[in-house]
Structure 1
């Protein structure tokens, strides 16, 4: 199947996904379940990675600033910019693409190969809206909070690193964080997060919904979904940066 055909099928799928749910009660129950599966269960890994990567960023910056004429506050400034602009929205989204993407593809793909999706469609239920729409809304609405938490913990990890290592003081670090603060950078990070969350939920859903074969095919589809979601996140990151920061 050619690339253009895949793109066409992807957008056709989206057209069916965003149709009005047939039963609101069932939809809300599915939405709460997906918030738990895709959002709350990702809190641990995002918190852990954000804290320690923030510490690493601050530590590496401090070790490379050996010029006495460069103020130590630059460490906090550099860590803030790195975490808000790239690490939290992009790196964390790539991690979530692996964790969440494989789950989405395998869950929908398993339903496809066991003919559960066929049974839903025979009963007149829009399977795409029923299965995919709660996942899309759960990721788009919850992930900005998740990434914002990652930003906070990343910056906190940098501060803790300075205090424990003695390479820079907490006061200098906080001064750097406050220096030249631009609120638009937070808006930029949230906009990227929303786009990445949409890709994380829809691309794996596409691979799971159109999988053919048995359990081996589901495994291959999960791998392809993670790879393509990561590629699309990187490409989207480039174009969003070009549009929003230049």
Structure 2
């Protein structure tokens, strides 16, 4: 997913800055762009967009892979041979998505902020040092910690749904396709639900 995350993050940073700059320029608030972009990306846009990309690519991949193993009776063969398929197929994938998604989110946030800097350096002739000094000055731990924590839950949800749909898919090749498709749909839905709950909890503790 690294290439998709890189391209998407860069485009988000570019487009977000290009769209908001004219409005802020009317109010003479162009200097607020680094703070606004960084806070918006790190709090909300970065985690949810990266999560949706991973749900589409990783979630469907897990669902299809485990589903095909179920259809071809590889999982049944593991059970007959005394191997626990849940331990080797499910837990490892859930751990992988849970650990790696926050790293992808951090990477995506940096790429998006860098994309925003590219627009500002072109339009407003802003130096790299000045831009990122304003970014770091505007950020607080209350922005970083909730976004990172919910990224772990995003990864857990993607891995869990993908494994569940693949593990319990119907027999036949059609079942594999349904498992891959439903893994994307349900994991994306869970991402929005988790995000909503995370925002509610964050507002309670912060305010």
Q: 1:60 aligns with which of 9, 14, 19?
A: 19
For 2:138 and 2:177, locate their aligned partners in 1 and report how far apart those are by CA, in whole Å: 47
Secondary structure at 2:149's aligned position in 1?
helix
Q: Tell me if the contact between 2:70 and 2:167 (Cα under 8 Å) persists in the aligned partners.
A: yes
Report the Cα distance in structure 2 between the residues aligned to 1:223 and 1:211, rounded to whole angstroms: 11
- 2:80 matched to which residue of 1? 122
Pair 1:209 & 2:196 matched: no
Distance across 2 between alignment mates of 1:57 and 1:154: 9
Tell me the alpha carbon deviations over residues 109-152 of structure 1, each in whole angstroms, 9 at most, x when there is no partner: 00001111001011111111110111111112222221111111
Flag structure 1 segments of 5+ consecutive residues without an equivalent: 1-41
- 1:107 is aligned to 65
Whether the 8 Å CA contact 1:83–1:154 is kept in 2: the answer is yes
Matches of 2:125 and 2:136, distance apart in 1: 16
TM-score, structure 1 normalization: 0.78
Equivalent residue for 2:38?
Answer: 80
The one of 41, 44, 56 equivalent to 2:3 is: 44
Equivalent residue, structure 2, for 1:138 = 96
Name 2:48's counterpart in structure 1: 90
Structure 1 residue 245, shift from structure 2 partner: 2.8
Distance 1:240 1:120 in 2: 38
| Post-superposition CA distance 1:58-97 (Å, at most 9, x none) | 11110221324x3322111110111101121111101110
Counterpart of 1:234 in structure 2 is 192
| Alpha carbons 2:97, 2:159 under 8 Å: kept | yes
SS of 1:65's partner is: helix
CA distance in 2, matches of 1:87, 1:74: 18
Are 1:148 and 2:98 an aligned pair? no
- Separation in structure 1 between the aligned mates of residue 93 and residue 111 of structure 2, nearest angstrom: 26
Task: Give the conservation status (yes or no) of the 8 Å contact 1:61–1:78.
Answer: no
Match of 1:194 in 2: 152
